[in-house]
Amino acid sequence: MEDDLRKATLPLVAQVRNEPHNLIYFLHEDRTAPGHFIFYEIFATEADFQARNATPHVQA
């Protein structure tokens, strides 16, 4: 399933980085443990983070 997750999440990186109030967004895959992904993201406020979680591309 790691390939499916990679295909689903990589296109989101640019979208999330362009969202209002997104300060930082990184997607990492552990080189020593392929398939282990780490999402690192910071939004200006908790409300901004919750609003992003409600967007259609994140829901999908």
Cβ atoms of 52 and 46 within 8 Å: the answer is no
- Tell me how far apart the alpha carbons of residues 44 and 46 are, in angstroms, rounded to a whole number: 7
Q: What is the pLDDT of residue 32?
A: 94
Q: Residue 17: which residues within 8 A CB-CB, separation 6 or more?
A: 25
pLDDT digits (tens, 9 = 90+) for 4-43: 988 888 888 888 888 889 999 999 999 899 889 999 999 9
60 or 37, which is more confident: 37
pTM metric for this prediction: 0.67
Distance of alpha carbon 55 from alpha carbon 60, whole angstroms: 9
DSSP state of 54: T
Query: How many beta carbons lie within 10 A of that of residue 16, not counting itself?
Result: 20
Architecture of domain 2-53: 2-Layer Sandwich (3.30)
